[in-house]
Amino acid sequence: MDKHLQIELSKQGIFTTTLQDLYNWGRKSSVWPMTFGLACCAIEMIATTMARYDLARFGAEVFRASPRQADLMIISGTITKKMAPLVVRLYNQMAEPKYVIAMGSCAISGGPFKQGYNVLKGIDRYIPVDVHIPGCPPRPEALIHSFMTLQKKIEDQQLTGVNRPRHLNQAELSEFPVPTYGEHDLEPPSNPDVWPDFKVIGQ
Amino acid sequence: MDLEQIKSDIEGAVPDSTLRIILNGSPSAEHSLLIDNEHAREIAFFLRDHPKYAFDYCSNATGLDWLDTESTQKVKVRKLIEGVEQEVEESQKTLFSGYLESVYHVYSMSKKHGPLVLRLRTINRTDATHLPSLTPVWRSVEFQEREIFDLFGITFDGHPDLRRLLMWDEFTDHPMRRDYVEPDDYEYEPTAHDEVLEKAQRHITQLT
């Protein structure tokens, strides 16, 4: 439907919409995150849900303690290699449609611990991430901004066609292989389906 | 804290024990006491229960890794050169075998003194890496000895629950050892320099 016509009609008191808009509006307005904190970023995440920043304004006040009831996983903090398989398993246990926000430097790339031996260098090695927020830790405003970015992403999703989201596409997998604990490192060190092997390093 | 006094008191109470004072040359002058492995627990019990010392609190246990070192010394040797005895300088190499060490800082809360620094040394860093656990004496070092076991690979005999603390059970390396080689999982380095640049370049050559 033409946007201008829709605006003109609304001026005359006639409300028009499409099923897609209605469906996406419903989903974006009640994204329930999972109660899941990994490190210091979790403190900022908790602050975001409290009265001062009030994530409830965006329909995300209900933090679910079970992955079965959650739509959004906020990776809030450092992912140690010991924790990484559990993060992937929790993501697999979530029902579609599901989204991931990688919060803070550690969740994106390993952050200050990138040179270390026991920290995973970014959760997008194993699961697809929808929104990345840099910061160490990001302020609650940044988390709210990432949340609004995610809402925009949901709003723009096409329900049909080749660009339809994963949960409406039978061919796409919703579960990702869980890495196992190896003798020296996680096996495999990354999932090639979601994380291509980059060959450019340094200068 | 007079370390000499403590040393002679221990030697009086625990016969056959061998102790050595290891001097610290830094301004802090925090000298430590190297105790032998056979009598370590006996010595620790003595220090904890003796009314004069009453070291009732072990605040910290940590590990150290000393690699094998080789030192070269110039020695003057008398030698027969062309039938004439002459004094010649020769360089002699001596090999010091490395060892692992666990260090304990103990305090007395009731007497308000401390710290006393205790050291325990393993025989080498490869196969004889056993030390007596001091967890039965000071319960507070239980997790710290597990951490040393995890990161340095010292096995504490008599520890109630010796498992890896930070790394997973399947892990076989000891990351805090000086010769530890970390897994190569570098993909992108925005500001690579020095060691990181070397690591990144090694990664490139492995890929291509």
CB contact under 8 A, B200 and A201: yes
Q: In chain B, which among 171-200 make CB contacts under 8 A with chain A? A: 171-173, 175, 180, 182-183, 185-189, 192, 196-197, 200
Give the residue from chain A lying closest to B207, CA to CA. A199
Angle at A135 between CA A132 and CA A136, to 5 degrees: 130
CB contact under 8 A, A201 and B173: no
Task: Judge whether A149 lies within some domain.
Answer: yes
Task: Judge whether A78 lies within some domain.
Answer: yes
Given a contact cutoff of 8 angstroms between Cβ atoms, the answer to whether A123 and A102 are in contact is yes
Task: Judge whether A178 lies within some domain.
Answer: no
CA pair distance A115, A113, nearest whole angstrom: 5
Task: Kindly report the CATH number assigned to the domain that includes residue A67.
Answer: 3.40.50.12280
HSE, side-chain direction, 13 A CA sphere, residue A40: 10
CB contact under 8 A, A121 and B187: yes
Tokens describing residue A184: 């020296």
ipTM score: 0.76
Q: In chain A, which among 57-86 make CB contacts under 8 A with chain B? A: 81-82
Average pLDDT over residues B158-175: 92
Q: Is residue A134 within 8 angstroms of chain B, CB to CB?
A: no
Among the residue ranges B38-52, B135-149, B181-195, the one predicted with the least confidence is B181-195
Instruction: Provide the residue ranges of all domains of chain B, joining segments of one domain with +.
Output: 3-66+100-171, 178-208
Q: What is the pLDDT of residue B208?
A: 62
Instruction: Give me chain B's average pLDDT, please.
Output: 88
Class of domain B3-66+100-171: alpha beta
Q: Is residue A192 within 8 angstroms of chain B, CB to CB?
A: no
HSE, side-chain direction, 13 A CA sphere, residue B71: 7
Q: Is residue B128 within 8 angstroms of chain A, CB to CB?
A: no
CA pair distance A119, A109, nearest whole angstrom: 10
Task: Judge whether A77 lies within some domain.
Answer: yes
Q: Is residue B109 within 8 angstroms of chain A, CB to CB?
A: no
Q: What is the pLDDT of residue B188?
A: 67
Average pLDDT by stretches of 10, chain A with 203 residues: 88 91 91 91 92 90 90 93 94 92 91 87 91 93 94 90 84 88 88 73 46
Domain enclosing residue A43, as ranges: 32-156
CA pair distance B141, B133, nearest whole angstrom: 9
Q: What percent of chain B has pLDDT over 70?
A: 97
Angle at B66 between CA B72 and CA B153, to 5 degrees: 150
Pairing of strands B57-66, B99-108: antiparallel
Task: Judge whether A88 lies within some domain.
Answer: yes
Average pLDDT over residues B155-166: 92
Give the residue from chain A lying closest to B195, CA to CA. A115
* Cβ-based contacts of B197 with chain A (< 8 Å): 202-203
Given a contact cutoff of 8 angstroms between Cβ atoms, the answer to whether B59 and B115 are in contact is yes
Tokens describing residue A72: 């959004």
Facing A184 at nearest CB: one of B169, B173, B192: B173
To the nearest whole Å, the CA of A119 is away from the closest chain B CA by 10
* Cβ-based contacts of A183 with chain B (< 8 Å): 170-173
CB contact under 8 A, B167 and A115: no
Task: Judge whether A122 lies within some domain.
Answer: yes
Number of separate domains in chain A = 1
Task: Judge whether A193 lies within some domain.
Answer: no
Facing A118 at nearest CB: one of B167, B187, B189: B167
CB contact under 8 A, A184 and B175: no
Residues 6+ apart with CB under 8 A from A144: A48, A53, A55, A58
Q: What percent of chain B has pLDDT over 90?
A: 57
Task: Judge whether A107 lies within some domain.
Answer: yes
B206 pLDDT more than 90: no
Q: Which of A32, A34, A95, A87 minimizes the C-alpha distance to A68? A: A95
* Cβ-based contacts of A181 with chain B (< 8 Å): 168-171
CB contact under 8 A, B182 and A117: yes
To the nearest whole Å, the CA of B156 is away from the closest chain A CA by 22
* Cβ-based contacts of B208 with chain A (< 8 Å): 199
Average pLDDT over residues B160-169: 92
Q: What is the pLDDT of residue A202?
A: 47
Among the residue ranges A135-144, A171-180, B82-91, B150-159, the one predicted with the least confidence is B82-91
B58 strand-pairing partners: B106
Higher pLDDT, A94 or B114: A94
Q: Which of A103, A113, A131 minimizes the C-alpha distance to A43? A: A103
